[in-house]
């Protein structure tokens, strides 16, 4: 399982949780993409420029796929502190949690 949690700034502010399923094959012992039931969840908080809380959003997807992505979007500028963007992942018994290290109230 490969996981990525990201904040992408563009026309909108995207908070993304993305996961890929890979497993080792018996032939040549290499990694290969494999279809599995996985869950990706993103939890995002939004604060203003002086770190006052403005709101939160979350989204979760569970599907049987090789690649899974979920996101929440704000159309206004977002500022963040540590812990404001967290991605949670599960594939079978494997779980992972990632958060983004922001400098408090950095846009």
User: What are 80's two structure tokens?
Assistant: 């963040």
> What pLDDT was estimated at residue 24?
60
Closest CA to 68 of 21, 24, 22, 32: 21
Model confidence band, residue 59 (pLDDT cutoffs 50, 70, 90): very high
For 2-99, give the CATH class. mainly beta
pLDDT 10s digits, 1-55: 889 999 998 888 899 999 988 766 666 666 667 788 999 999 999 888 788 888 9
Q: What's the predicted TM-score (pTM) here?
A: 0.84
Residue ranges per structural domain of the chain: 2-99
């Amino acid at each position: 399982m490969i996981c990525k949690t990201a904040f992408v700034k563009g026309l909108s502010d995207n908070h993304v949780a993305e996961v890929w399923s890979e497993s080792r094959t018996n032939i040549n012992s290499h990694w290969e993409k494999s279809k599995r039931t996985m869950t990706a969840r993103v939890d995002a908080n939004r604060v203003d420029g002086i770190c006052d809380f403005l709101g939160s959003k979350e989204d979760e997807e569970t599907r049987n796929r090789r690649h899974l992505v979920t996101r929440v979007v704000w159309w206004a500028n977002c500022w963040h502190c540590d812990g404001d963007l967290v991605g949670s992942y599960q594939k079978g018994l494997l779980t992972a949690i990632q958060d983004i290290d922001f400098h408090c109230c950095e846009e």
